[in-house]
Amino acid sequence: MKRILITGGAGFIGSHLCERLLKEGNEVICLDNYFTGAKKNIVHLLDNPYFELVRHDITMPYFIEVDEIYNLACPASPVHYQYNPIKTIKTSVMGAINMLGLAKRVKAKILQASTSEVYGDPEIHPQPEYYWGNVNPIGPRSCYDEGKRCAETLFMDYHIQNKVNIKIVRIFNTYGPNMNPNDGRVVSNFIVQALSGEDLTIFGDGTQTRSFQYVDDLVEGMIRMMHTPDEFIGPVNLGNQNEFTMLELAENIIDLTGSSSGIIFKSLPKDDPKQRQPDTTKAKANLNNWEPKIQLREGLARTIEYFQATLLTNGRQKIRINA
Ligand code: NAD
Ligand code: UDP
CA atoms of 60 and 95, how far apart (whole Å): 7
Report pLDDT for 153.
Answer: 98
Instruction: Give a yes or no: residue 314 inside a domain.
Output: no
Mean pLDDT score, 206-220:
97
CA atoms of 155 and 177, how far apart (whole Å): 30
Give the number of C-alpha atoms closer than 13 A to the C-alpha of residue 83, restricted to the C-beta side: 12
The 8-class DSSP code of residue 189 comes to H
pLDDT confidence bin for 265, thresholds 50/70/90: very high
Q: What is the pLDDT of residues 137-153, one digit of tens each?
A: 999 999 999 999 999 99
Dihedral sign from CA coordinates of 290, 294, 299, 305: negative
Mean pLDDT score, 77-97:
96
The 8-class DSSP code of residue 49 comes to T
* Closest residue CA from atom 11 of ligand 2: 203
As for ligand 2, residues whose beta carbon falls within 6 Å of it are: 77-78, 173, 185-186, 189, 201-203, 208, 210, 246, 268-269, 272, 323
Instruction: Give a yes or no: residue 33 inside a domain.
Output: yes
pLDDT confidence bin for 311, thresholds 50/70/90: confident
pLDDT confidence bin for 70, thresholds 50/70/90: very high
Spell out where 9-108 has E strands.
27-32, 51-55, 68-71
CA atoms of 20 and 51, how far apart (whole Å): 12
Instruction: Give a yes or no: residue 315 inside a domain.
Output: no
Instruction: Give a yes or no: residue 321 inside a domain.
Output: no
Q: Which of 7, 13, 145, 215 to mutate to test the pocket of ligand 1 (most atoms within 8 A of CB)?
A: 13
Q: Could you identify the atom of ligand 2 that is nearest to the CA of residue 250?
A: 7
* Closest residue CA from atom 13 of ligand 2: 186
Q: What Rg, from alpha-carbon coordinates, does the chain have?
A: 19
Q: Is the CB of 14 under 6 A from ligand 1?
A: yes
Cis check: omega of the bond before 278, within 30 degrees of 0: no
> What does pTM read for this prediction?
0.96
CA atoms of 302 and 93, how far apart (whole Å): 34
Instruction: Give a yes or no: residue 205 inside a domain.
Output: no
Number of domains composing the chain: 1
The domain that contains 74 carries what CATH number?
3.40.50.720
Report pLDDT for 8.
Answer: 98
Position 53: which residue type?
Answer: L
Nearest-CA neighbor of 98 among 157, 144, 139, 57? Answer: 57
Report pLDDT for 310.
Answer: 87
Domain around 22: 3-176+214-238
Spatial neighbors of 250 by CB under 8 A, at least 6 apart, are: 190, 200, 202, 206, 263
Instruction: Give a yes or no: residue 60 inside a domain.
Output: yes
Is pLDDT of 181 > 70? yes
Nearest-CA neighbor of 242 among 300, 179, 168, 303? Answer: 300
Dihedral sign from CA coordinates of 104, 106, 107, 111: negative
Instruction: Give a yes or no: residue 143 inside a domain.
Output: yes
Asked about 158 being catalytic, the answer comes back as no
Instruction: Give a yes or no: residue 311 inside a domain.
Output: no
pLDDT confidence bin for 315, thresholds 50/70/90: low
